[in-house]
């Protein structure tokens, strides 16, 4: 299942200050190679340009 705008995701990136944190996808862009990149909002800050392989889509029933 593809990740879409508004989905809640968990980030897995050991180099990010948001590693293993939950956020909301607020924007999706595509590169010239048709790769999707995601902007995720983590309450007070955003992480931009995240690849899909670093994100895990959470169930719709997930609550903050």
Q: State if pTM tops 0.85.
A: yes
Residue 24 has pLDDT above 90, yes or no: yes
| Torsion sign over Cα 28, 31, 35, 40 | negative
pLDDT digits (tens, 9 = 90+) for 27-48: 999 999 999 999 999 998 999 9
Average pLDDT over residues 52-64: 84
Q: Which residues pair with 42 in a beta bridge?
A: 45
Residue 20 pLDDT grade (very low, low, confident, very high; cuts 50, 70, 90): very high
Domain boundaries, the chain: 8-57
Q: Greater confidence, 44 or 54?
A: 54
Q: Which residues contact 29 (CB under 8 A, 6 or more apart)?
A: 36, 37, 39
């Amino acid at each position: 299942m593809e990740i879409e705008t508004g989905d809640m995701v968990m980030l897995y990136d050991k180099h990010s200050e948001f590693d293993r944190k939950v956020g909301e996808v607020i924007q999706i862009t595509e590169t010239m190679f048709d790769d999707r990149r995601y902007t995720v909002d983590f309450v007070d800050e955003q992480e931009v340009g995240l690849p899909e392989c670093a994100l895990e889509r959470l169930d719709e029933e997930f609550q903050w």
